Amino acid sequence: MTSTLARFTPGRLAALATLLTVLLAASILAAISWGAAPFPLTQTFSHLWAGLTGGTIAADEMTDYTVVVDIRTPRVLLAGLVGAGLSALGIAAQAMVRNPLADPFILGISSGASVGASAVVSWGLFASLGVYALSTAAFAGALLASVVVYALSRTPSGVAPVRLILTGVVLSFGFQALMSAIVFFASRGDAARSVMFWMLGSLGGASWQQLPLAAVVTIGCVLYLRMRARDLDIASMGDGSAASLGVDPQALRRRLFLVTVIGTSTLVSVAGTIGFVGLVIPHLTRIAFGPAHRAATVIAPLLGAIFMVWVDLISRVATPPRELPLGVVTALFGVPVFIVLLRRRGYVFGGSR
């Protein structure tokens, strides 16, 4: 029987990518229209068109225009970018450590970011940066955690995948303990609630100013992984096989580490920690379309973007006027889906028999 990998031609990949792009565009338009105060699709499209072209808006529609263009649109677009980025980085993390349970947060990035976030909430760190204080501190904490993990996991012969995983897991507990201590001794009574909501993921503070950096980093990570798809396929065979086929596994691992750190730190700084996206979406992609990274690096980001757009919509409308943390929604979907995947007959990491 011809394998999925062999049957997945460039033409089919392009057709599927086009279909998913159309679904993503439709999802974005629907998510902008729906919410606590829903708008007709025609009105939403009219406001978006006016925002793009600089058209005039009637005085009695200014409030609706502001909600659509300045509040919902940047939030929905950021949700798509975060979903695409985490899905792509999940592929990078799993390829880097050759472990199906890896996700972008395995390097202690989310725990390091939580330390920075808790320092802002509890101590007012970087208060001079205003609304950017939390993002800046989270990004700095994530980078610092990644540097520490890399330094401790490095050996004279390079970075071993198992050592990298264990170091990341152990230091994650350490950073979580530090975060808990900061919140415990905080003078603000609501510090724990604020930090916990951020750790579970939120796009409530999304703005147009956050989009350019998130877009550049996400697109850059996806393009890099796409260009390295062949190397990722070869590296999955093991270090010995990769070296014999002309791929330096240690050099590739270092580059993947850098991509994962920069991408995840950026996304965590704007959206908090959103679990299961970078774990489940790559697995779903491999099951449906085979283990080849040539397809996975295109399809997974699009599926992740669509998924996160709908997750954000659900978080906004499920329990009005409050919002559910994004991590709660992704866990409600991700846990049962992943259990089904694990119990699926013939499923193995990298695809199905």
List the one residue out of 45, 46, 326, 345 whose CA is nearest residue 200. Answer: 326
> Which pLDDT score, from 0 to 100, does residue 326 have?
92
The mean pLDDT of the chain is 85
What does the pLDDT look like over 135-189, one tens digit per residue?
Answer: 888 889 988 998 899 888 887 777 778 888 889 889 999 998 998 888 888 776 6
Radius of gyration over alpha carbons of the chain, in Å? 21
Residue of 131 and 293 predicted with greater confidence: 293
Residue of 190 and 347 predicted with greater confidence: 190
Residue that has been written with the tokens 């890099």 in this structure: 224
Highest mean pLDDT: which of 57-66, 99-108, 119-128, 303-312?
303-312
Residue that has been written with the tokens 């750190």 in this structure: 261
Highest mean pLDDT: which of 3-7, 106-110, 296-300, 317-321?
296-300
Q: Are 101 and 75 in contact (CB under 8 A)?
A: no
Task: Write down all domains in the chain, each with its CATH number in brackets.
Answer: 4-352 (1.10.3470.10)
Q: Are 179 and 115 in contact (CB under 8 A)?
A: yes
> Measuring CA to CA, how many Å separate 147 from each of 7, 104, 142, 153, 217?
41, 15, 9, 10, 19
> Which pLDDT score, from 0 to 100, does residue 345 have?
55
Query: Which amino acid is it at 230?
Result: R
Highest mean pLDDT: which of 55-59, 75-79, 113-117?
75-79
Q: With 90 as the cut, is the pLDDT of residue 308 above it?
A: yes
Q: Measure the N-to-C terminal CA separation of the chain; round to a whole number of Å.
A: 11
Q: With 60 as the cut, is the pLDDT of residue 1 above it?
A: no
At 72, which helix (H) or strand (E)? none
Q: Are 142 and 106 in contact (CB under 8 A)?
A: no
> Which pLDDT score, from 0 to 100, does residue 4 have?
46
Q: Are 173 and 115 in contact (CB under 8 A)?
A: no
Residue of 101 and 323 predicted with greater confidence: 323
**Range in 24-28, 30-34, 96-100, 187-191 with the lowest mean pLDDT:** 187-191
Token reading at 7: 């049957």
Q: With 50 as the cut, is the pLDDT of residue 353 above it?
A: no
Neighbouring C-beta atoms of residue 50, cutoff 10 Å: 16
Neighbouring C-beta atoms of residue 343, cutoff 10 Å: 8
> Which pLDDT score, from 0 to 100, does residue 309 have?
97
Residue that has been written with the tokens 């909430």 in this structure: 121
Residue of 204 and 305 predicted with greater confidence: 305
Residue that has been written with the tokens 């070869």 in this structure: 234
Residue of 245 and 353 predicted with greater confidence: 245
Residue of 16 and 188 predicted with greater confidence: 16
What does the pLDDT look like over 38-47, one tens digit per residue?
Answer: 888 888 988 8
With bands split at pLDDT 50, 70 and 90, how would you rate the model's confidence at 7? low
Token reading at 310: 């709908």
Token reading at 71: 């509040």
**Burial (CB count <10 Å: 0-12, 13-18, 19+), residue 320:** exposed
Q: What is the rounded CA–CA span in Å between residue 79 and residue 313?
A: 9
Segment 256-263 mean pLDDT: 92
> Which pLDDT score, from 0 to 100, does residue 352 have?
45
* Cβ-proximal residues to 127 (8 Å cutoff; 6+ apart), any chain: 120, 133
Segment 199-204 mean pLDDT: 85
> Which pLDDT score, from 0 to 100, does residue 191 have?
66
Segment 280-301 mean pLDDT: 89
* Phi, psi for residue 350 in degrees, rounded to 5: 105, 0
